[in-house]
A and B are shown apart, each in its own frame.
Chain A
Amino acid sequence: NAGVTQTPKFRILKIGQSMTLQCTQDMNHNYMYWYRQDPGMGLKLIYYSVGAGITDKGEVPNGYNVSRSTTEDFPLRLELAAPSQTSVYFCASSAGSGVFETQYFGPGTRLLVL
């Protein structure tokens, strides 16, 4: 099992450019999440999904979009990159079958918007 994989590892974007952060899990998990982590700020939830075709906003969704067409993949789209989106982005997944389930995190994507 590779667990949760994310690509790319690092990216520099210019203001106004677009990009998609890829996330794939091979654990057949129902729930998937996108978080961003700014220095000294912990992780904040951007979007989450409880299954293919079902997504919902988290705490900081502005400037991002998601889709979930398969159980395995949960891409995060930035349409018009802004310096405020400079951050480290983590994707996570959990089985979602019980009251409490461990969330497994990917290695992260570092994004710099200049």
Chain B
Amino acid sequence: QKEVEQDPGPLSVPEGAIVSLNCTYSNSAFQYFMWYRQYSRKGPELLMYTYSSGNKEDGRFTAQVDKSSKYISLFIRDSQPSDSATYLCADQGTSYGKLTFGQGTILTVHP
């Protein structure tokens, strides 16, 4: 079983749609949960991170963690074509900031 599972998609939505991206994880030692955004042929960049269960909102983006079910979600409201990218969930344990990534979900928002 992979430590972090993510549906690779691809996911295609119209502009303005609400997008839901999801991951599950198996390692209970994970403490920090991140979403990275990666544009084509670029390096990943941190979008949001959360610690412990609950919601965190940043503009049109909301990250949600449910540690009891080991489920991580990212919601994008009013999606824009500029949101088209690969979204990677990642988990961090306690050791030297090492990250475990999901496979990434390719999102396309069409006008």
> Which residues on A are within 8 Å of B, measured CB to CB?
4, 31, 33, 35, 40-45, 48, 50, 56, 58, 90, 92, 94, 96, 100-108
A108 and B43 contact, Cβ closer than 8 Å, known pairs A101-B97, A103-B97: yes
A4 and chain B: residue at smallest CB distance: B43
Total contacts A to B, CB within 8 angstroms?
58
A44 and B96 contact, Cβ closer than 8 Å, known pairs A103-B46, A105-B44: no
Contact check, A41 vs B98: say whether CB atoms are below 8 A apart: no
Bound-complex Cα distance A41 to B105 (A): 10
Contact of A42 among B42, B46, B51, B101 (CB under 8 A): B101
A43 and B49 contact, Cβ closer than 8 Å, known pairs A31-B97, A103-B99: no
Contact check, B43 vs A58: say whether CB atoms are below 8 A apart: no
> Which residues on B are within 8 Å of A, measured CB to CB?
4, 6, 8, 32, 41-46, 49, 51, 88, 92, 96-104
Bound-complex Cα distance A51 to B39 (A): 30
5 shortest A-B CB distances, which residue pairs? Answer: A105-B43, A42-B101, A43-B101, A42-B103, A102-B46
Contact check, A48 vs B43: say whether CB atoms are below 8 A apart: no
Contact check, A42 vs B88: say whether CB atoms are below 8 A apart: yes
Contact check, B103 vs A41: say whether CB atoms are below 8 A apart: yes
B89 → chain A closest CB, angstroms: 9
A100 and B92 contact, Cβ closer than 8 Å, known pairs A40-B103, A44-B101, A108-B43: yes
In the assembled complex, 21 residue pairs joining A and B whose CB atoms fall closer than 8 Å, in A order, are A31-B97, A33-B99, A40-B103, A42-B101, A43-B88, A45-B100, A58-B98, A94-B97, A96-B97, A100-B51, A100-B92, A100-B97, A102-B46, A102-B49, A103-B99, A105-B43, A105-B44, A106-B43, A107-B43, A108-B42, A108-B43
B3 and chain A: residue at smallest CB distance: A59
